Amino acid sequence: MQGPQGLKRVWGAAGLAVALLLSLAAAPAGATDKPPAPPYIVIDAQTGAVLAAENATHPWYPASVTKAMTAYMVFQALADGRLSDSQKITVSARAAGQPPGKIGLRAGSKVSVKLLLEAMIVRSANDAAVALAEAVAGSEAQFATAMTRQAQALGMSQTVFSNASGLPDPAQVTTARDLAVLARALMRDFPDRFGLFSKTYVVFNGQSRPTLLSWLGSYRGAKGIKTGFTCGSGYNLLAAAERNGRRLIGVVLGGRTSGQRNALMRKVMDAGFDRAAGGAAGSLLVSSLRGDPRVSVPYVLASGTCAVGISPGTEMMAKGALPGWGLVFGSFVSKDEAQARIAENRAALKDVVDRGKPTIVARTSIATHRYSALLVGLEPDDAGSACRHLQTLGVYCLAVPPKLLNNPQALWR
């Protein structure tokens, strides 16, 4: 697809749709291939019109951009009275023990929901994110399941969450398109709280700590919202900006450096505002973008300083190599949940494909123990048509080829 230098051209809906399809067709299928160009998308926040996009439906690690979804869940709990801003949360040992970045919560201390929210958003504090997750759902694992369900309800059709913070977990994936949908939902559903993403500091233990979101001070009209980085994701940015009454949402994923990421965001945002000023609103809506089910895993941005290793505790419950293509239906807290999802999806597919072997893969990590639900032993065409059918029903599905199905580093896990 055309690079950012050409985005000022006015595209018709058909031209943009064709360009997006070509971009998807060119996207790599797995973690051992050449990485795609950094995925990005720019949309009009009010209308949802797509102003520019490349690899926008290619699955990727969200990293700490995950915390925007955690914030949505907390805002929801505040809106319906399950939490209040002044409510004091007792910090668990598990929350306090999260790896950096963190704000420095102590196990057993009592901290207000308001301060936890500010610490999570302004300082990207993992300890605050887990404390909030436990307050909303009782455990981070239950919270992650609820996050995924809510994401699907918002139309984030390619997103799965496994934790509240964005710490590395191969099962946790999203797309640039889905993150744009999330930002738009935050603006629409919680306009009185969205300003938290533009807060420039948080006071904790008597000390003022500045925001980690450099976007706020580096772009005219910036309105937040969240950065993220892991070795697996590269440098991610979910951003909003407003000029002359027009608000845009931008997503850039997989930057090699924060500078490269920010530079690309500035280019695509500037081009988006130029298009808007010229009266070209864009007629392809973000809700209309759909991912190719065969483009099933993100690329792992490994290097000499960012090595990616096999997840500890990986265990295949089915012995030996998994045969053929596989359909991945999601990652669940319990084996029973995984089995139930396989049964539901097989029933939904009875008129599409009658083959396939139900399979569950268990994987443990530092933060979670999850069970992935699969249907394996399929032919490529059957896998593709089955996933497309489930996606039309609003059901999460990834089609995974054999070389990735049996790769212990593949991100469907």
Q: Which residues are catalytic?
A: 64, 67, 124
Phi, psi of 289 (to 5 degrees): -75, 135
Which candidate, 35, 4, 16, places its Cα nearest to that of 295? 35
Angstrom distance (rounded) from CA 255 to CA 55:
13
**Contact criterion met (CB below 8 Å) for 273 and 60:** no
182-202 CB burial, b ≥16 within 10 A, e <16:
bbbbbbeebeebbebbbeeeb
3-state secondary structure of 269: helix
Q: From residue 282, how far is each of 24, 44, 67, 380 by CA, in Å?
A: 20, 8, 29, 35
Angstrom distance (rounded) from CA 61 to CA 282:
28
Angstrom distance (rounded) from CA 381 to CA 328:
15
Residue 317, both tokens: 């419950």
